[in-house]
A and B are shown apart, each in its own frame.
Chain A
């Protein structure tokens, strides 16, 4: 492949001249990343408020008369959907994917910058459509975040007028946005890496985002198909998913549709979605731990293989979400087996993180705190996953708080730990200011201890048999009074954690305003984004010449080196084995 320095091709760099081109209709991946990130965090705050409303109802039933069963289910649904798709997916891929891929690969921008810009605006449109459902007659859908038919469509469920239609349309629009972004991420990784940056020299953050994007491109179509078919069922009256029903003595206009088909489609997307969120988190946390332990990542090659293996396996485990839906027992056996197999590469990653820390020169600054916090929460969430992966254990636990505790630990708290670690880690590069350490530590401990106080007791409630999705429990024999007290405590912990997030927002605002000016490479990191000539990097990232990469991303504490890190673009030293 002929090497043509992009610096020689000035037509690729449309330098923005006006304010609007620079900050609004921007084609610069860094601006788009910040746009994506801000909208995603805003959506996440809405979902956070919804979760508090739910907790208020569960912790103190009969106290808030304005929380009705109807609105409770709407909170449940929107909380789940926003957190999983519009916050986590958008922030990891649209936010960090956009920011990190070109910088870490040594590119000037994404390969299709115009499409990248469209991706953000279409994403914003999907968020607006979703938020609009709060203001339409009947309110947003209350079908549960999995939107199972028939109750998502039939009268009697909350939000079947407009809410469900807006939800499905918003999802379809989101998928369009994701496709435009995803094509960029994959193609940029494949085509726009700088000289010397082989695939096996890429930082694990890029690997995680890259494989997660491929998963998204293959899995989101399943959600799109499900959304289109359900919209048709709702609007035109087709019978893809909707069975014949008698509702209040009236026969519905549907015949013989298959609700289980929807579940297959939803989870065929839904399970890879777990890894669309988890793989970028795995990749990013590897870089955080390695950088702040001043030690190369343990088993880099195994880490890459594990990411790829987890990605591939994530397509053959989906029906473990459907053990209670009724299926051929052999299927249950198959999916339980694949589910347990996926624990192998995942466990390899966990061991490697711990071994990276082993005898490292650990600096307990903010990114490291969040990174180690992630190891704890992920191990806890992962272990309860082994329980639920087994059919016989899952059946009694499936509809209880055990499942809530499990998935919030593994795909709620854990990725969020990494997100905050990543924000604190890259904050100096993105803004040019250091984030305030004291506020960040308060934020960490409130979040870490608070989320344990929320989700650990939920496992006990689940084993006790406390059903999930209930608006109120009343007085029953199998739920003792102490369980109600636990629920109150959980609600108080939830308010505590939410307050912690306010401290994060204050920290961001304060550090932007009064933070210490950041060095170009305050952590002494090896990867390319810390070697840019300007901080924050300007349009085009690299000045007149692209970087050239001479080594992998993890040359920390190399014996004989002057400093405890050697940047990737640092030429070969005398005595190092080299090629070319």
Chain B
């Protein structure tokens, strides 16, 4: 139910945006080229594409969360098969790593905006390394849970823990792939004098920054959800 409301909200925002886009036009009354109307392919298409994708990923994780809550309610019925897991404390360290990665990414973003390529390289790569640290930490959390030995695959709390962290981790891995490609361009063969090349890298860093902040938010949401049960 909550998931439905959240998605309805998402749709509501879309509809509101469309209304802002003059959905109240009476196109049959006005001819000619309307000033300010959409024109040609603009450089922000990848950014719009990313936001559309993030809308979809939001829907994915909201639905995961909805399924989690519904399964938990069901699991508290007489059978009591929902046995909450005690989250490994390494999750806190992981969370800090991801927060710092997001901050570093933001700094890299501001550096690249000032065409400070040296600073961009440093902070951008550091953000990537911390993200890898986060992912390794998540794997460690899995191992610690398995080592506790109290859980088996029939316990939905345990299955969900693995499933949700894996889903989030896979999205980060996808992000790392883009980050790796951008970093490769930053380190090798980037002609600082070429406006086109610098603009391309600037855009990639900007998109990575949005994606990292977004995945941080998703993780914080998941962390709260996992801890609260």
- Chain A residues with CB under 8 Å of chain B are 1-6, 9, 12, 107-108, 111-112, 179, 182-184, 186-187, 190-201, 214, 217-222, 224-225, 228-229, 232, 236-240, 244, 253-258, 260-261, 264-265, 268, 296, 300-301, 304-305, 308, 311-312, 315-316, 318, 546, 548-552, 554-555, 572-573, 576-580
Q: A186-B52, A187-B49 are in contact. Are A552 and B28 (CB under 8 A)?
A: yes
| A1:B74 contact, CB within 8 angstroms | no
A194 partner residues in chain B, CB cutoff 8 A = 39-40
| Bound-complex Cα distance A507 to B63 (A) | 45
Decide if B52 touches A580 in the complex (CB within 8 Å): no
Known contacts: A107-B41, A218-B56, A552-B27. The answer to whether A195 contacts B7 by CB under 8 A is no
B22 → A minimal CB distance (Å): 7
Expressed in whole angstroms, the Cα–Cα distance for A182 and B159 within the complex equals: 31
Chain A residues in 8 Å Cβ range of B46: 112
Q: Is the CB of A187 within 8 A of B48?
A: yes
Closest chain A CB from B12 CB (angstroms): 7
Instruction: Check if B40 sits within 8 Å of A238, measured CB to CB.
Output: no
Interface-located stretch among B13-21, B104-112, B113-121, B135-143: B13-21
How far, in angstroms, from A108 to B11 measured CA to CA in the complex? 29
Contact mask for chain B residues 142-175; partner A; CB cutoff 8 A; 1 contact, 0 none? 0000000000011110010001000000000000
Report chain A residues within 8 Å CB of B31: 550-551, 572-573, 576-579
Task: Give the distance in Å from the alpha carbon of A261 to the alpha carbon of B39 in the complex.
Answer: 46
Residue from A214, A255, A550 with most neighbouring chain B CB atoms (10 Å): A255
A4 touches B49 (CB 8 A): no
Residues of A near B59 (CB, < 8 A) are 217-219, 221-222
Cβ of B25: which chain A residues have Cβ within 8 Å of it?
198-200, 301
Task: Name the B residues within 8 Å of A316 (CB-CB).
Answer: 4, 8
**In the complex the two chains form, is A312's CB within 8 Å of B15's CB?**
yes
Q: Are A268 and B39 in contact (CB under 8 A)?
A: no
Chain A residue numbers with a CB within 8 Å of B48 are 187, 190-191
| B15 CB to nearest A CB, Å | 6
Given contacts A191-B44, A224-B60, A580-B33, contact A200 B22 (CB under 8 A): yes
Interface pair B156/A257, CB less than 8 Å apart: yes
Question: Which chain A residue lies CB-closest to B17?
Answer: A190
Partner of A239, one of B23, B63, B154: B154
CB distance from A31 to the nearest CB of B (A): 20
- Asked whether, in the complex, the Cβ of A199 is within 8 Å of the Cβ of B70, the reply is no
Expressed in whole angstroms, the Cα–Cα distance for A257 and B67 within the complex equals 12
- CB <8 Å contact, A256 and B75: yes
**For this complex, into which size category does the number of interface residues on chain B fall?**
35 or more
A190 — nearest CB in chain B belongs to which residue? B48
Set of chain A residues within 8 Å of B22, measured between Cβ atoms: 198-200
Known: A200-B22, A308-B18. A225 touches B49 (CB 8 A): no
- Interchain residue pairs A-B with the least CB separation, the first 7: A578-B32, A552-B27, A221-B60, A200-B25, A256-B81, A196-B33, A3-B39
- Do A579 and B71 touch (CB < 8 A)? no
Q: Smallest Cβ distance from A307 to chain B, in angstroms?
A: 11
User: Which parts of B31-80 form the interface with A (CB within 8 Å)?
Assistant: 31-35, 37-42, 44-46, 48-49, 52-53, 55-57, 59-60, 63-64, 67, 70-71, 74-75, 77, 79
Q: Of all chain B residues, which has the CB nearest A198?
A: B37
B228 beta carbon closer than 8 Å to chain A = no
User: Are the C-beta atoms of B154 and A237 separated by less than 8 Å?
Assistant: yes
Rounded to whole angstroms, the CA-CA distance of A573 and B163 in the bound complex is 62
* B74 nearest CB neighbor, chain A only: A258
CB-CB under 8 A from A1, the residues of chain B are: 38-39, 42
For A296, the chain B residues whose CB sits under 8 A away are 28
Instruction: Identify the interface centre among B27, B40, B60, B63: most chain A CB within 10 Å of its CB.
Output: B40
Which residues of chain B come closer than 8 Å to A182, judged between CB atoms? 52, 56
Q: Let me know if B195 is at the binding interface, CB within 8 A.
A: no
What's the Cα separation between A237 and B158 when bound, in Å? 13
Instruction: Check: B30 CB closer than 8 A to any chain A CB.
Output: yes
Q: In the complex, how many angstroms separate the beta carbon of A53 from the nearest chain B beta carbon?
A: 35
Task: Choose from B10, B33, B44, B79 the contact partner of A548 (Cβ within 8 Å).
Answer: B33
B67 contact set on A, CB distance < 8 A: 225, 229, 240, 261, 265
16 A-B pairs (CB sep. < 8 Å) = A3-B40, A107-B41, A179-B53, A190-B38, A192-B40, A195-B33, A195-B37, A197-B38, A200-B23, A238-B154, A238-B159, A239-B159, A253-B154, A296-B28, A578-B31, A579-B32
In the complex, chain A residues whose CB is within 8 Å of the CB of B12: 312
Please tell me if the beta carbons of B27 and A300 are within 8 angstroms of each other in the complex: yes
B197, CB-defined interface residue at 8 Å: no
Q: Is B181 part of the contact surface with A, judged by Cβ < 8 Å?
A: no
Known: A218-B56, A305-B23, A312-B11. 10 other contacts (CB 8 A): A194-B40, A195-B40, A199-B23, A214-B11, A218-B7, A264-B70, A265-B63, A301-B26, A318-B4, A577-B31
**In the complex, B3 has a CB within 8 A of chain A:** yes
Kindly list chain B residues whose C-beta atoms are within 8 Å of the C-beta of A112: 45-46, 49
A180 → chain B closest CB, angstroms: 10
Contact of A196 among B24, B37, B52 (CB under 8 A): B37
Q: Is B29 an interface residue (CB 8 A)?
A: yes
**B40 A239 Cβ-Cβ under 8 A:** no
Given that A221-B63, A238-B153 are contacting pairs, would A193 and B56 also be in contact in the complex, using a CB cutoff of 8 Å? Answer: no
Complex contacts, A221 vs chain B, CB 8 Å = 56-57, 59-60, 63
In the docked arrangement, what's the CA distance between A199 and B34, Å?
11
Closest to A3 in B: B39
Q: Are B75's CB and A315's CB within 8 A? A: no
Residues in B whose Cβ lies below 8 Å from that of A552: 27-28
Shortest CB distance A549–B (Å): 7
Q: Which residues of B contact A6 (CB under 8 A)?
A: 40-41
- Interchain CB contact under 8 A, A222 and B34: no
Cα A268 to Cα B67 with chains together (Å): 11
A219 to B156, CA, bound (A): 24
How far does the alpha carbon of A65 sit from the alpha carbon of B65 in the complex, in Å? 48
CB-CB under 8 A from A12, the residues of chain B are: 41
- The interface centre, meaning the residue of A12, A184, A257, A546 with most chain B CB atoms within 10 A of its CB, is A257
**Chain A residues with CB under 8 A of B154:** 237-239, 253-256
Report Cα–Cα, A552/B27, bound state, in Å: 6
Which A residues touch B55, using CB under 8 A? 217-218
Q: Is the CB of A192 within 8 A of B33?
A: no
B96: min CB distance to chain A, Å: 29
- State which of A222, A304, A312 has its C-beta within 8 Å of the C-beta of B23: A304
CA distance A222 to B11 in the complex (A): 16
